[in-house]
Structure 1
């Protein structure tokens, strides 16, 4: 089913790409866009995960792993019945994380330094379990391909300002300006179309993988609090990748609202609390912080 969703997504993005090409240069532009989209589909399938990791300056975790992150990922991957993914760290104070890769055999989990600094070990385990759920559900292929295409559609739409309005029979100046805004919006809508069910499903599966829904619920609250006030410069420069993160990393610019691809954090937390029998994640977190205040988040 994951591969079917990916194929449908590629077809939708290809159609959008061809439509922009037609508006820019007629039937010849549509053919060129089809060829370009075919090449991009192939390239994205094999390389989009590496591109996204580079966009966010992610570095692989080497043998020096004082926090035990690799061991945590390995243990949770075993719980999830998954091969061991590669583990990356992103140097940014904003707490956040994402998973990437075309399939479970070629996957990676990336967490920020802010996430490791601000979350307890239990909360971090909940986040890692959520990302492993995305891998198991084959969401990562959809997420990485969408990020690549959304960025390309936005770039192509910007070209319309210089070329689209000059072609005889083209959309004209007003049509070109509309294209500049509507094409990226359409790409964003494709991202949002699958976001809600994907995130809720990963929350549920992640809670089952780590065995404690409230660990993830508490983590989501902490990440939302941090992401809403701490900038993530790499994410702001590459807003088309925002849907890949566990919580939307964007907030610094007015355009960020166009990429609000995540369901409400409060609703996600409420669903996780239902899974745990309605116990308050906030109360559990306060109790845990009192008992471990001297040992820190990695105690």
Structure 2
């Protein structure tokens, strides 16, 4: 889950910071000086939207290491670390990608893969995963993460995020323009006022959270593909089925402090809409259907 959570959190933060900077530089004032220039605003939104998502992608490995405290294995310190390097290398070769960095971090059972490029990605596993699963199950989880890399999931999510960002930036400024116009109906001042600035910032955060629903929906579908990819890399779906069943017996993982405000977790009810992963039962059923 960290793979997408980190991406969404970084992306929203970059988007808001860029918008504040551009507003201070007078870009918004230029766009609305003679009314709302929709074609120019759309081009502006495309540039800002995709720049934010691309920056998030390029920062993904660094942010993941920093947020989880992951330690990249340079020289194996024990047999488990040596096995991790060997297993990831074997799976990467089968998947036709370059050897990823392999890292370990302290935490509840989980793993993630991230990175902007297929041949220089990062695969990280938690100490809880290594302690709570058999080697076959850990290998299946590693296969799942390697499949994410081979499928180009982070790049795909970047493109999707760039598109929804574009709409967030565009619609926020449209709403801001009309709110500001209504507040200053009897004013002769030209250009956006404080009402515009505040409305745009609030709308970007609210619309950004709404956009995360769309990103989460795509992410859930990518998880099924990664599960199937792990089954292909291992030659059988059973280890992945066993690993998912084992994960169902663990307590849900707490989010890093910098992500807690997002409130995205694998929970039933309304919160399930924000989940980046489908229910484990659905994933197991999909794998069993491959037999």
- Shorter chain as denominator, the TM-score bin is 0.5 to 0.7
Q: Report matched runs for 1:187-202 at 5 Å.
A: 187-202=211-226
Give me the TM-score of the superposition, normalised by structure 2.
Answer: 0.65
Q: Report matched runs for 1:116-265 at 5 Å.
A: 116-143=130-157, 167-169=180-182, 179=203, 182-228=206-252, 230-234=253-257, 236-237=259-260, 239=262, 257=272, 259-265=274-280
The question of whether the paired residues in 1 share the 8 Å contact of 2:53 and 2:161 is answered with no
Which runs of 5 or more structure 2 residues have no equivalent in the other structure? 1-10, 184-194
Say whether 1:76 aligns with 2:100.
no
DSSP-derived class of the 1:275 partner: coil
Aligned residue pair count: 243
Give me the TM-score of the superposition, normalised by structure 1.
Answer: 0.64
Residue among 37, 41, 48 paired with 2:60: 48
For 2:201 and 2:52, the matched residues in 1 are separated by: 25
- Label 1:45 to 1:66 Cα distance change in 2 as closer, same or farther (>3 A): same
The question of whether the paired residues in 2 share the 8 Å contact of 1:100 and 1:143 is answered with no
Partner of 2:8: none
Q: Report matched runs for 1:7-86 at 5 Å.
A: 27=31, 36-37=48-49, 39-63=51-75, 64-67=77-80, 68-86=83-101
DSSP-derived class of the 1:105 partner: helix
TM-aligned CA deviation for residue 234 of structure 1 = 4.6
Say whether 1:101 aligns with 2:88.
no
Mean CA deviation greater in 115-124 or 264-273: 264-273
DSSP-derived class of the 2:146 partner: helix
For residues 190-240 of structure 1, give each alpha carbon's deviation from its aligned partner in whole angstroms, at most 9, with x where no partner exists: 212312331111111111101231111111122233243x43435743748
- Label 1:42 to 1:268 Cα distance change in 2 as closer, same or farther (>3 A): closer
Residue among 265, 269, 283 paired with 1:268: 283
Which runs of 5 or more structure 1 residues have no equivalent in the other structure? 1-9, 243-247, 277-299
For 1:99 and 1:148, the matched residues in 2 are separated by: 20
Partner of 1:279: none
- Label 1:197 to 1:121 Cα distance change in 2 as closer, same or farther (>3 A): same
DSSP-derived class of the 2:66 partner: helix
